[in-house]
Amino acid sequence: MNFNIRAKRSIRIGAAVAAAGLLAVVTGTASNAAVSKAPTVTITVAALIPGSTPAAVAEFNKQIAEFEQQNPTIRVYGVQYDWTGPTFAAELAAGTLPDVFTVPFTDGRSLGENGQLANITTYAKQLPYFKQFNPAVIAEGIDAKGQVIALPTAAYAQALQYNRQLFSEAGLNPNDPPKTWAQVEADAKLITEKTG
């Protein structure tokens, strides 16, 4: 699971960025006269990995054009971005991450708890599909205050694989694998003792 999230540079900028990232879905009804007086907001969006194909770049640029047409006061600059632990930590600390970026499923909540992500609750809940998110999945993008700070963009499964033969050799039932980390640890010790 990856999350699409917004860095919190300051409360005011973070809120503007959070709003901008979702405006394509929740606005578009204001008159051009009203929006032409509004200042232009510029955001950077990490949506392409380094080495993306020309077709991927063209499709992303098409999405930017559609978004900017619906939101004439927002300019979007696409940037190449590839999440890696050391690079992400350094860019987060330096404040050089794009305004909208992805992180692994397991990182959204902790970043939100640290106050490093913008509160996008108002905008997220206006999405027509918000209530369709799997509750266990969207929960990873909600902080302890109940604020939505990240939205899932892709899913993957987490699993633990085990060797059925080793389980049998150690006297364990391979049809009843461990269900907690404590059981994994106990079974590993027993397997080591019995099978070397």
In tens, the pLDDT along 96-135 reads 889 988 888 878 888 888 888 899 999 999 999 999 998 9
pLDDT digits (tens, 9 = 90+) for 15-39: 333 332 222 222 233 334 444 566 7
* Residue 24 contacts residue 110 (beta carbons within 8 Å): no
**pTM given for the model:** 0.60
Task: List where CATH 3.40.190.10 sits in the chain.
Answer: 2-154
In the DSSP assignment, the letter for residue 13 is H
Q: Which residue has the higher pLDDT, 7 or 75?
A: 75
| CATH number assigned to the domain with residue range 2-154, chosen from the 4 options 3.40.190.10, 2.30.110.10, 1.10.3210.10, 3.90.1150.10 | 3.40.190.10
Q: What is the pLDDT of residues 140-151, one digit of tens each?
A: 889 999 999 999
Token reading at 83:
């999440």
Report the pLDDT value the prediction gives residue 9, as an integer from 0 to 100: 41
Ordered DSSP codes for 77-128: EEEE----HHHHHHHHHHT-S-SEEEEETTTHHHHHHTT-B---HHHHTTST
Tokens of 179: 């269900």
Give the span between the Cα atoms of 77 and 91, in whole angstroms. 18
Q: Check pLDDT > 90 for residue 183.
A: yes
Whole-number Cα distances in Å, 86 to 50, 52, 65: 17, 22, 33
Output the pLDDT for position 67.
92
pLDDT: is 170 or 5 the higher one? 170
Higher pLDDT, 24 or 84: 84
pLDDT value of position 89: 87
Please return the burial class of 75, using the count of CB atoms within 10 Å of its CB with bins 0-12, 13-18 and 19+. middle
Q: What is the pLDDT of residue 132?
A: 93
pLDDT for residue 36: 53
